[in-house]
Amino acid sequence: MTAALLTAVFTSPASACSCFPGGEGDRYHRADHVFTGVVLSETLEEGDPTSTFDDRYRYAVAVRTEYKGDVPRVVAVATATSGAACGIRMTKGSEYLVFAHGDSADRRVESTYCSGTRLASAGPPVTTGSLTTTTTPPTSPCATAVP
């Protein structure tokens, strides 16, 4: 009995980032805002010291091109510091294609690993959704078909 209690106390449930399936087109449609921008700074926002997963990074991003939504010219992009909580890391001076959520009226949006934020050097966002198991690709008539 004691061993079981100690095991329960000293172990915690495994946590890992888990995302919806789909490609970049699906992420584009789920996002409130999609834009490119250069990271100006990174700030650590410390949460409750007794909680493991509530610290956040806040990145000041100078917006270059808006693809979806409306964000201010400089916007704060917030994300968890923990990878297990789907947080992302961005590098000061690098340009990113940001997929974000939230109301930008407070000059702040949220992004996670699952949102799809990536380096902008890979090109503009894919805006068409991927095929799903319920979608069938278009077909063309067989060359041997008789009209």
Residue identified by tokens 């980032």 is 17
* 111 inside domain: yes
Distances (CA, A) of 3 to 7, 8, 13, 23: 6, 9, 17, 45
Q: Specify the pLDDT at position 1.
A: 45
Q: Specify the pLDDT at position 127.
A: 93
* 134 inside domain: no
* 129 inside domain: no
* 54 inside domain: yes
Three-class secondary structure of residue 77 per DSSP: strand
- Which domain CATH number covers 78? 2.40.50.120
Q: Which of 127, 99, 130 is nearest to 115 (CA)?
A: 99
Contact 12/84 with Cβ under 8 angstroms?
A: no
The identity of residue 70, as a single letter, is D
Q: What is the residue range of 90's domain?
A: 34-122
* 66 inside domain: yes
Distance of CA 137 to the CA centre of its chain: 28
Measured from the Cβ of residue 23, the count of other Cβ atoms closer than 10 Å reads 13
* 144 inside domain: no
Q: Specify the pLDDT at position 35.
A: 98
* 68 inside domain: yes
Q: Specify the pLDDT at position 7.
A: 37
Q: How far apart are CA 135 and CA 48, in angstroms?
A: 45
User: What average pLDDT does range 111-133 have in this prediction?
Assistant: 88
Please state the pTM of the whole predicted model. 0.76
* 2 inside domain: no
Contact 55/81 with Cβ under 8 angstroms?
A: yes
Number of domains in the chain: 1
